[in-house]
Amino acid sequence: MQLYYTPNSPYARVARVAARISGLDQVTEIEAKTRQANTEFFQITPLARVPTLVDGDTVVAETRDICAYFDQITGVPRWLPPEDETTRFQRHVLCGLMDGVAVWLRENGRPDGQKSTPVIAYEEHRAERILTWIETQYTPPPDLTYAALVLACTVDIALDRGMGTAWANHAPKTVEWAQAQSERPEMHATRFQPLMSSAI
């Protein structure tokens, strides 16, 4: 199996960490060239988005679907256990936080003069609102699930890139939990690299 990723994609990092925790040694990571014209990655997926998993003739896109595929391989619903209305909504909120952080990262990666200050401010305020909700409405399970791993990777990149400097004021327990998760060996092995471009 080949897992295509870019080093600074929080979405891809979720899949990379999940593969390691699942013990899927047969997964080979390949850094995708998503911004190069006529890259071979286009032959795998016209979307040219990461993460993308290739298993023989099977192509799996989107982080959640890849984690579900890992569950299918291992036969254990580790990443996507059965949900009820509450846990499903929690997952949507956590994924929404990651989406907003991704927008913030892209805007801040633009050259000076091309950044949208209103978009950056909106995503910062939205993130703080979401974190305040998470602090009282979500308790991470003892074993990481897809939703919890999304939260861990989101907080980690936000702190790394300077977006989450005040997050501990809004969600101290959540930030403390995420920082503890960042010390896992699987997280260390997939550390974000110094940002060289706006691509995530």
Domains along the chain? 2-79 (3.40.30.10), 85-186 (1.20.1050.10)
- pTM value? 0.94
pLDDT at residue 29, rounded to an integer: 98
- pLDDT (tens digit, 9 = 90+) per residue, 119-133? 999 999 999 999 999
Residues 6+ positions from 25 with CB-CB distance below 8 Å:
none
Percent of the chain with pLDDT over 90: 89
pLDDT at residue 93, rounded to an integer: 98
Rounded alpha-carbon distances, angstroms, from residue 155 to 40, 83, 101: 32, 23, 9
- pLDDT (tens digit, 9 = 90+) per residue, 50-71? 999 999 999 999 999 999 999 9
CA angle 108, 155, 86 (to 5 degrees): 120
Nearest-Å Rg of the Cα atoms of the chain is: 17
The one-letter code for the residue type at 72 is Q
- pLDDT (tens digit, 9 = 90+) per residue, 126-158? 999 999 999 999 999 999 999 999 999 999 999
Quote the CA–CA distance of 89 and 199 in Å, as a whole number.
29
